[in-house]
Amino acid sequence: MKLLLINPNISDSVSELIRSEAQRSASPGTEIEVLTAPFGVAYIETRFESLLGAYATAQLAAEHHRRFDAIVVAAFGDPGLTALREALPMPVTGLTEAALASAHLLGQRFSIIAISQRIQAWYREVVDSYGFGSRLASIRALDRPLASIGAVQDEHAQALKVLAERAVDEDGADVIVLAGAPLAGLARSLKGQLPAPVVDGVSSAVRHAETLVALQAGKAQRGSFAPPPQKPNRGLPPAIEALLRRQ
Amino acid sequence: MKLLLINPNISDSVSELIRSEAQRSASPGTEIEVLTAPFGVAYIETRFESLLGAYATAQLAAEHHRRFDAIVVAAFGDPGLTALREALPMPVTGLTEAALASAHLLGQRFSIIAISQRIQAWYREVVDSYGFGSRLASIRALDRPLASIGAVQDEHAQALKVLAERAVDEDGADVIVLAGAPLAGLARSLKGQLPAPVVDGVSSAVRHAETLVALQAGKAQRGSFAPPPQKPNRGLPPAIEALLRRQ
Amino acid sequence: MKLLLINPNISDSVSELIRSEAQRSASPGTEIEVLTAPFGVAYIETRFESLLGAYATAQLAAEHHRRFDAIVVAAFGDPGLTALREALPMPVTGLTEAALASAHLLGQRFSIIAISQRIQAWYREVVDSYGFGSRLASIRALDRPLASIGAVQDEHAQALKVLAERAVDEDGADVIVLAGAPLAGLARSLKGQLPAPVVDGVSSAVRHAETLVALQAGKAQRGSFAPPPQKPNRGLPPAIEALLRRQ
Amino acid sequence: MKLLLINPNISDSVSELIRSEAQRSASPGTEIEVLTAPFGVAYIETRFESLLGAYATAQLAAEHHRRFDAIVVAAFGDPGLTALREALPMPVTGLTEAALASAHLLGQRFSIIAISQRIQAWYREVVDSYGFGSRLASIRALDRPLASIGAVQDEHAQALKVLAERAVDEDGADVIVLAGAPLAGLARSLKGQLPAPVVDGVSSAVRHAETLVALQAGKAQRGSFAPPPQKPNRGLPPAIEALLRRQ
Amino acid sequence: MKLLLINPNISDSVSELIRSEAQRSASPGTEIEVLTAPFGVAYIETRFESLLGAYATAQLAAEHHRRFDAIVVAAFGDPGLTALREALPMPVTGLTEAALASAHLLGQRFSIIAISQRIQAWYREVVDSYGFGSRLASIRALDRPLASIGAVQDEHAQALKVLAERAVDEDGADVIVLAGAPLAGLARSLKGQLPAPVVDGVSSAVRHAETLVALQAGKAQRGSFAPPPQKPNRGLPPAIEALLRRQ
Amino acid sequence: MKLLLINPNISDSVSELIRSEAQRSASPGTEIEVLTAPFGVAYIETRFESLLGAYATAQLAAEHHRRFDAIVVAAFGDPGLTALREALPMPVTGLTEAALASAHLLGQRFSIIAISQRIQAWYREVVDSYGFGSRLASIRALDRPLASIGAVQDEHAQALKVLAERAVDEDGADVIVLAGAPLAGLARSLKGQLPAPVVDGVSSAVRHAETLVALQAGKAQRGSFAPPPQKPNRGLPPAIEALLRRQ
């Protein structure tokens, strides 16, 4: 089985974190490939940055999906995920969607631990869009500027751990979601140090993508995730144009 | 006052409908300019098409916004609207957001009359994202293929009117929202023929955009609609890159 | 265009604040008239006081509406608004409804800054009744007794500003709503001093009322905002009786 | 124990139905008094009519409450109920609130069977205002004009029964609420003929009012149901003025 | 009238508190009998303990219900309540359901004061399952270990009172619910000392059970509270087997 | 890896269906064991039957869990699942929870296709308890009596397929959930015949249980899924008593 993880950000250091955690998480026989957005920003915190990341992700997916059994949008916030689910013939998931699936299977209420204050509103809207608002105990975030997005978990591991403990003890979280590709792998290293189950987006996405491939639930032929209807288009990147045409 | 309406679709015929209705709706002294997406699809019905339209809209807005007092995303579904609200220094609204504001001021529950079955799921998600789900009485849509997107209201006026009447009498709608730029102006021509107030996205957006300019509520300096934080970026269209840099 | 603003409270000083802000906000050519409730309380903070104000508003509206193009219920909390929307042939809005429409067009979540602790529960119920509960970040209120309702913004401007900043920084508000007719005009004088867009009920109501007149969406003939059905009545003030009879 | 039931409508025939059912429902030793609104309409179906009924109810309650242990607002829709709960020193309930309490104790989801199509929107808003929207399976209503409000249950008993059966079999109702004072007593005569428990507003209100008197839970001294704060007032009916002053 | 209260816990001291408060609360002529679970835990705080208590309650109810007019599940959290409502021919209520009915009749928002931190999540889920989530202002709980479950109100009365005051002043509660059978009777002794109406589960349940018997609303014949359909079963306690067979 | 699936019903024929589908779904190296409830009913359709099944499941889990890496409650409706998650040291999931996780990863809205009319209310409450109510497009169910619970999919495959198609075309479902252990395996045989992805509870539960074992998220030490606190108990089955004691 071959999985493609697309980093919607331009950060190669984060792609490397994603690749490492994905490979550690994958079942035997699963091959992992990670692509980094050719354009965009260092890390997505806002709706506008997500719009940019979604388009970059769509382009990469359109160009490369044919070689893979499933696609993972590898940024928390899942830029472009539900759009790609319509257009692509194989299963697609994203770090937030996959982390919420894991949290759903582990407890009732969860908290998201995030890397910046600014990122919280966008995360909340994404969680709400999946209908998980009533299970969100809280979002807690670092409040200091990030020196380096690729080294955030090294620099802030202790602060992130404290946020997680407060989420359990003060906010009523049953499960901790460590949010954002820059934290990929942190759940693994904090294992046993937190008072509640800890969920990581990358490992969740890899495992759930494998499950979707295994379950073979089928691609929508009707309903809102069927491929977009045929209609005139203009000026699109060739791979996207081909994706729209071939349905 | 100068308003820019951006049609996120490639249809010049729809841009013409938008322009006509916008000019009829504008206050004296308001200048209207309509731009058509240089790339994308004929009309947006799905999440994937909306992703494409959002990016095209962002590019046009980044290139042209400086000459305008307010921007309107002129497709029902508002592709890219909340993203642009972060990045642009002036007020931005969209056809759905504006139509919902009008409906909110006219009654308690509203129904959306749409041009295709497929478009309904996307509309529902947009309405829900604005927190208006509890006020949505129903979405009703044409169920026949559209011969021409620019002529949909001519061909289907009677069918659309029947859908609107059913929404009032069977679904409990207090207000009818005629959805989609291809229906721009239809509310005006149906005036007096429907049993409940009728709302049009284009005229609502023009008037509410004028109001936002007049109220001068101020651009967010903090909170989730402040400009995206400064950070490295790469490979972006120059206008978008300039937009991110100048904040 | 002629707008009638009805102050459901007996405070002439507040009516004067309303009149000033309404005139500053109106488009050229819009005439403003403000009427003060002939009976009631100094300012409404509770459901019972709102019941009294609603009835006074209904009487004034029944007596005077014929000379106007639109009516504004000029107290935050909108006493009697949805009732008057049924009975009157022209558009009606209120300070809360209009402020929420503005907030909806400016951001995702908003906080209400109010003049007393007691008033908060009533405001929350009104916001919920419009289905805006999920967008309400918080209500924050002054906690000191008001020496004079007509001078509250002079005495408490600094405290109100601090509440607004906390709403943005601690509660996640994208937009600040300065609530209550006694704060009419404060948004204008705080312009540029707050970290997020600021909305005022009076200016919002004046502008949105103008929009409703311009859009000519039509009066409901069926549905829940059609005029009340003809039926026996007894003992009503003549203007209200006439209103019920003439439909 | 003495209970006052206030009919917010002017219909003496309905007051008689209320009185009969209240007396049949009351515990031994409970005295029932029913007052009819001195002004208003024959029966309330809309928000505007409810505004009128609420004011009439407030006047009657202000004048007469001192002789009673508890007050019942005896119209489905509870005009003025939450307002009176603030102002009066004794327990107050209403037909809708009491019927919902009974339905809550008898099953999970309930349907309301109503006497006119028009009345449904108002009922729905009242149910929603109590937070019971998620338990409302449906509202079903007669669709023929009512010849006489005092004789509706005689004329329409069979049609009402059919609506109730459909609510159980098609809408998933566990409990049937026969809504509206004009149906007072119908639940009693349909007993054994319906497939699910049947709730009547008047008998529920009488019994729950007795319970509130027995439980002696205490009048709110703080919070949103404490008496309205002392402040200037003007032009109010003497009994209402006295009610505001004495707190 | 004969009421059976079933304590789903094994604590005889709590059964004694329940019996005392039930007898003080009952109407003249109502006989009270309290049974204690023959197996289970000292007091239920978690979902697993509730599962055990539900089964014990079901067994006791199956064995003893025939002699009674109504049954009360006498633990806050109502283990097994909705299940028993299907299977038993007479009315059944529980401490939480009954306390919420009382709170609903006394104010808009309520807070629950509980005896342990751990118990809060379970209580919240039960409140949500009844659709009362939007009316729950807060749950506040003792944070010290309980020396003796039968003496919790003697040892902690002052702390519980402080929690109740904070719920009113900080959380916006209109009504205080003293939760859990171990607090039975505390509302009575705190009467007049709290700033808002106080509700007790046992007295509420006794009174509401009496009301259900008086209203004679009828047992569901169809819908989700009709008796479970006839079907093969095996290995059940004889009383439960008889209950399933006789429907 | 060893998985235990507990059938909370007494039907050996259904256990056989569960076993077959579980074995077909499991990854290489996963061992499947299925246990059938020693007491209870043939198949659970109601809250009361679920109470019985939950207790039987708890007993089997308490006795046998030590030999397994994860436990699956193998009835749609998940009797006892959240309780067992507290008490057991390893991951636990259930057919509904797992099917919802799959549906969440495949689309936005889903419909449940069920085997009897009666079962719908219970399913709806379970879905709501997981916070998935806003994503539930509909529940549709067979309306004919079941001749044999073990043969339902053979007898009713065509009817179930029609229900699934209506769910997609009329209710807006993106994903079809075939509900109930008696339908285990049907998704596999309908593959390619339905217009939307199809989810099966057993295969979802097996795959997600494997994922939970692989992710090693950790057992809750604090929060609402920590083991129940130590306290006196009495009369419990020895395995359950041991489970409570050893934490």
Q: Say yes or no: A90 and A105 in one domain.
A: no
Read off the pLDDT of residues B143-180 as tens digits, 9 standing for 90 and up: 988 878 888 888 899 999 999 999 999 999 999 999 98
Average pLDDT, chain F: 96
- The shortest C-alpha distance from B164 to chain A (Å) reads 23
- Cβ separation F107–A211 shorter than 8 A: no
- The rounded distance, in Å, linking the Cα atoms of A5 and A71 is 6
If you search the block for the tokens 């006020």, which residue do you land on? B135
Mean pLDDT of C96-113: 98
| Neighboring chain D residues of E221 at a CB cutoff of 8 Å | 195-196
Nearest residue of chain B to residue F109 (CA atoms):
B121
- The rounded distance, in Å, linking the Cα atoms of B46 and A229 is 9
**How many cross-chain Cβ pairs, B to D, lie less than 8 Å apart?**
9
Read off the pLDDT of residues A145-178 as tens digits, 9 standing for 90 and up: 887 888 888 889 999 999 999 999 999 999 999 9
Residue E210's pLDDT is what?
98
Residue F150's pLDDT is what?
81
Tell me which residue in E39, E40, E47 faces F83 most closely, judged by beta carbons. Answer: E47
Residue C15's pLDDT is what?
97
Percentage of chain A exceeding pLDDT 90: 90
Task: Using only the alpha carbons of chain A, give its radius of gyration.
Answer: 17
Give whole-number Cα distances, B54 to A97, B61, B140, E133, in Å: 22, 10, 25, 37
Two tokens at E201?
């589960």
H/E run at residue A178: strand A175-178
Q: Say yes or no: D107 and D186 in one domain.
A: yes
Read off the pLDDT of residues E173-188 as tens digits, 9 standing for 90 and up: 999 999 988 898 899 8
| Neighboring chain D residues of E211 at a CB cutoff of 8 Å | 102, 105, 204, 207-208, 211
| Neighboring chain E residues of C133 at a CB cutoff of 8 Å | 134
Pairing label, strands F110-114, F175-178: parallel
Residue D168 has phi, psi (to 5 degrees) of -70, -50
pLDDT at F92 over 70: yes
Residue E215's pLDDT is what?
97
- The rounded distance, in Å, linking the Cα atoms of B85 and B82 is 5
pLDDT at D243 over 70: yes
| Neighboring chain F residues of E51 at a CB cutoff of 8 Å | 54-55, 58, 80, 83
pLDDT at E65 over 90: yes
- The rounded distance, in Å, linking the Cα atoms of E55 and E80 is 7
Read off the pLDDT of residues D95-125 as tens digits, 9 standing for 90 and up: 999 999 999 999 999 999 999 999 999 999 9
Pairing label, strands F233-234, E40-41: antiparallel
| Neighboring chain E residues of F49 at a CB cutoff of 8 Å | 228
CATH of the domain at F90: 3.40.50.12500
Rounded to the nearest 5 percent, the helix, strand and coil shares of chain D are 50, 15, 35
Is residue F57 within 8 A of residue E18, CB to CB? The reply is no
Give whole-number Cα distances, B14 to A64, A232, B60, B152, B202, in Å: 34, 14, 17, 10, 11
Is residue C29 left, alpha or beta, with left meaning phi > 0 and alpha meaning psi from -120 to 50?
left
In this prediction, the answer to ipTM > 0.95 reads yes
| Neighboring chain D residues of C235 at a CB cutoff of 8 Å | 10, 38-40
Residue B247's pLDDT is what?
53
Nearest residue of chain E to residue D227 (CA atoms):
E196
Nearest residue of chain E to residue C120 (CA atoms):
E172
The CB density around residue E97, as the number of other CB atoms within 10 Å, is 27
Handedness of CA A82, A83, A87, A92 (dihedral sign): negative
Two tokens at C38?
């002939």
Q: Say yes or no: A239 and A192 in one domain.
A: no
For A130, which DSSP code? Answer: T
Handedness of CA E118, A135, D135, D174 (dihedral sign): negative
Q: Say yes or no: D192 and D218 in one domain.
A: no
- The rounded distance, in Å, linking the Cα atoms of F200 and F210 is 16
Tell me which residue in C174, C198, C203 faces B225 most closely, judged by beta carbons. Answer: C174
Q: Say yes or no: E131 and E191 in one domain.
A: yes
Q: Say yes or no: A107 and A154 in one domain.
A: yes
Mean pLDDT of E20-25: 97
Rounded to the nearest 5 percent, the helix, strand and coil shares of chain F are 50, 15, 35
Identify the band that residue D139 occupies on the pLDDT scale cut at 50, 70 and 90.
very high
Chain F adjacent subunits, 3+ CB pairs under 8 A: A, B, D, E
pLDDT at E246 over 80: no
Residue C49 has phi, psi (to 5 degrees) of -65, -35
Two tokens at E126?
């039960």
How many Å separate Cα C179 from the centre of its chain?
9
Select from F183, F201, F219 the last residue of a domain.
Answer: F201
How many Å separate Cα E28 from the centre of its chain?
22
Q: Higher model confidence: residue A26 or residue B144?
A: A26
Q: Say yes or no: C209 and C192 in one domain.
A: no
The CB density around residue B189, as the number of other CB atoms within 10 Å, is 11
Q: Say yes or no: A88 and A152 in one domain.
A: no
Pairing label, strands B198-200, C40-41: unpaired
Tell me which residue in C41, C87, C244 faces D231 most closely, judged by beta carbons. Answer: C41
Is residue A97 within 8 A of residue A80, CB to CB? The reply is no
Nearest residue of chain B to residue D128 (CA atoms):
B134
- The rounded distance, in Å, linking the Cα atoms of E5 and C88 is 56
The CB density around residue B159, as the number of other CB atoms within 10 Å, is 14
Read off the pLDDT of residues B201-224 as tens digits, 9 standing for 90 and up: 999 999 999 999 999 999 999 999
- Cβ separation E125–A109 shorter than 8 A: no
Q: Say yes or no: B21 and B92 in one domain.
A: yes
- The shortest C-alpha distance from F9 to chain A (Å) reads 23
- The rounded distance, in Å, linking the Cα atoms of A124 and A168 is 18
- Cβ separation B125–F109 shorter than 8 A: no
Chains D and B touch (3+ CB pairs under 8 A): yes
Pairing label, strands B110-114, B136-141: parallel
Handedness of CA F211, F217, F222, F223 (dihedral sign): negative
| Range C115-118, long-range pairs (CB < 8 A, 24+ positions) | C115/C43, C115/C141, C115/C142, C115/C146, C115/C152, C115/C156, C115/C179, C115/C180, C115/C182, C115/C183, C116/C45, C116/C141, C116/C142, C116/C146, C116/D229, C117/C141, C117/C142, C117/C143, C118/C45, C118/C46, C118/D224, C118/D226, C118/D229
- Cβ separation C46–D244 shorter than 8 A: no
Tell me which residue in D122, D223, D233 faces C41 most closely, judged by beta carbons. Answer: D233
Percentage of chain E exceeding pLDDT 70: 100
Residue D13's pLDDT is what?
95
| Neighboring chain B residues of A55 at a CB cutoff of 8 Å | 51-52, 54-55
Nearest residue of chain E to residue F118 (CA atoms):
E224
Identify the band that residue D181 occupies on the pLDDT scale cut at 50, 70 and 90.
confident
Give whole-number Cα distances, E127 to E50, E110, E112, E139, E235, in Å: 15, 11, 10, 11, 33
- The shortest C-alpha distance from B28 to chain A (Å) reads 33
Residue B148 covered by a domain: yes
Q: Say yes or no: E216 and E140 in one domain.
A: no
| A175 bridge partner residues | A110
Residue A214 has phi, psi (to 5 degrees) of -65, -40
Residue D40 has phi, psi (to 5 degrees) of 135, -155
- Cβ separation F108–B120 shorter than 8 A: no
- Cβ separation B223–A121 shorter than 8 A: yes
pLDDT at E247 over 60: no
Identify the band that residue D151 occupies on the pLDDT scale cut at 50, 70 and 90.
confident
Read off the pLDDT of residues F168-197 as tens digits, 9 standing for 90 and up: 999 999 999 999 888 988 998 898 899 999
Identify the band that residue D247 occupies on the pLDDT scale cut at 50, 70 and 90.
low
Identify the band that residue A240 occupies on the pLDDT scale cut at 50, 70 and 90.
very high
Inter-helix orientation angle C201-215/C95-106, to 10°:
90
- The shortest C-alpha distance from B224 to chain D (Å) reads 30
Query: Exposure pattern of F122-133 as b/e (b: 16+ CB <10 Å)?
Result: bbbbbbbbbbbe
Is residue C69 within 8 A of residue C1, CB to CB? The reply is yes
Identify the band that residue A238 occupies on the pLDDT scale cut at 50, 70 and 90.
very high
Identify the band that residue D21 occupies on the pLDDT scale cut at 50, 70 and 90.
very high
Two tokens at F203?
């295969």
- CB proximity list for A235: less than 8 A, separation 6 or greater: B10, B38, B39, B40
Residue B103 covered by a domain: no
Amino acid at D182: P
CA trace torsion F182, F185, F190, F194 (10° rounding): 70
- Cβ separation A172–E125 shorter than 8 A: no
Two tokens at F197?
């992805």
Number of domains chain D contains: 2
Percentage of chain F exceeding pLDDT 90: 90
pLDDT at A67 over 90: yes
Percentage of chain C exceeding pLDDT 90: 90
Q: Say yes or no: B63 and B12 in one domain.
A: yes
Average pLDDT, chain A: 96
Nearest residue of chain C to residue E169 (CA atoms):
C117
- The rounded distance, in Å, linking the Cα atoms of D68 and D1 is 8
Range of the domain at C162: 97-201
pLDDT at C247 over 60: no
Q: Is E217 helix (H, G, I), strand (E, B) or coil?
A: coil
| Neighboring chain F residues of D168 at a CB cutoff of 8 Å | none
Q: Say yes or no: E240 and E208 in one domain.
A: yes
Q: With a threshold of 0.90, does the pTM exceed it?
A: yes
Task: Using only the alpha carbons of chain C, give its radius of gyration.
Answer: 17
Residue B151's pLDDT is what?
84
Mean pLDDT of B46-71: 98
The CB density around residue B12, as the number of other CB atoms within 10 Å, is 11
pLDDT at F207 over 80: yes
pLDDT at D37 over 90: yes
Identify the band that residue F247 occupies on the pLDDT scale cut at 50, 70 and 90.
low
If you search the block for the tokens 């005889």, which residue do you land on? E12
Identify the band that residue F27 occupies on the pLDDT scale cut at 50, 70 and 90.
very high
